[in-house]
Structure 1
């Protein structure tokens, strides 16, 4: 039986393009209830959708979500933030701290807070949204935080496995949302991404490489560093 059949789902960052599709597709695949969380939750037109305030950078807010949604069986860590500019040396202290809080510590603390609820339910799932940039350090602090989340997801997978929690990490390059509005590179439609993720969950996959870029970067990790970053090769005369 699909993990989404009769599931109680919680989506962080539910107001965004990807988050909204996670909410609707979870219901289309048989979820009984979806907690649609955001710092400022919006009104939904389906009684099965429960708006819930959640700031993933605030411990009290996370605990409040746990208290309100203790019946969760599928947790989707989707909330994230980006920063303008690609140079980690040029980011301000505030930008670095905000990205670490939102992209790494936020989903990690949310996962830890909901781990007891997930562990207590059969057929439970944790989905962490990474990035192809987890494996390609060209986006400054954003790449660094996504790489850290990738590592943390691997740890969570091992630690939650004895309780039967299925942990899934998702890697994708550009998605057609406002966050990628300035990019001219190929983009995955949010609806397509969500379907890819849920299909992978249904077949028991632990990792989702949602596009060609993610597949290429994952394969490139075993190559010499100069192959991934040719700018490191010194020019000889």
Structure 2
């Protein structure tokens, strides 16, 4: 699909990658609903702030009613609690899954009929290299992103007959608040990642691998797991 004249809903658009995506969408001629739990924190010139909590079904449905002209959904909102699976706080694990898996599922279910009614369009799911790489120290986050990858692939098949394309964005660490403790030379520029993602939407790509780490790990998926 073309970005120019698209009508995009970007979740988690008040900071980080989400804000870069919203800014670039506006710059490229799209109408943008910049969604956040607290819309007053949205600072994207030219965008329409939209209240949307991906973990609250009523909030999701209300946002879909407001953004009834949407043709592009960007599922960007996500959290990382650094919980481990064996000993981490179980409520943190549940919250991560609610946000990173059930959140994009809820928004996609709500907006798919909207996008279809508007002639079709696209969904972008912001995933991670940890969809495929599962370190124990980030077990909860990796599990939620692995589940979100499976969700993305299944929904791509379900939505194709409705003229809705689905693109997965995979990237390692980015220079955002979530990766504040990671050395700068190990982090991708979120503005560049956003540009790659939007190019992938326009090209109708199933996946965008936005950095060398993601490309390497994807190529290594057939390797046998290392023994403990």
Correspondent of 1:133 among 118, 126, 130:
130
Residue by residue, what CA displacement relative to the aligned partner does 1:145-170 show, whole Å, maximum 9, x if unpaired? 00000000001100000111110001
Correspondent of 1:100 among 83, 97, 100:
97
- Secondary structure in 1 aligned to 2:97? helix
Correspondent of 1:122 among 119, 127, 131:
119
Match of 1:194 in 2: 194
In the superposition, the TM-score normalised over structure 1's length comes to 0.91
Take 1:98 and 1:107, find their aligned partners in 2: how far apart are those partners?
Answer: 13
- Secondary structure in 2 aligned to 1:225? coil
Q: 1:53 to 1:137 in 2, by over 3 A?
A: same
Specify every segment of 5 or more residues in structure 2 that has no aligned partner in the other structure, as ranges. Answer: none
Take 2:126 and 2:13, find their aligned partners in 1: how far apart are those partners?
Answer: 13
Match of 1:54 in 2: 52
Specify every segment of 5 or more residues in structure 1 that has no aligned partner in the other structure, as ranges. Answer: 227-231
Q: 1:45 to 1:180 in 2, by over 3 A?
A: closer
RMSD: 1.4
Equivalent pair of 1:134/1:146 in contact (CA under 8 Å) = yes
Match of 1:159 in 2: 158
**Is 1:34 paired with 2:32?**
yes
Structure with bigger gyration radius: 1
Shifted more, 112-121 versus 151-160: the winner is 112-121
Q: How many residues are paired up?
A: 224
Take 2:94 and 2:44, find their aligned partners in 1: how far apart are those partners?
Answer: 36
**Is 1:16 paired with 2:18?**
no
Shifted more, 96-105 versus 37-46: the winner is 37-46
Take 2:58 and 2:10, find their aligned partners in 1: how far apart are those partners?
Answer: 18
- Secondary structure in 1 aligned to 2:178? helix
Q: 1:224 to 1:84 in 2, by over 3 A?
A: closer
Take 1:123 and 1:26, find their aligned partners in 2: how far apart are those partners?
Answer: 18
* Shift, 1:45, TM fit: 6.2
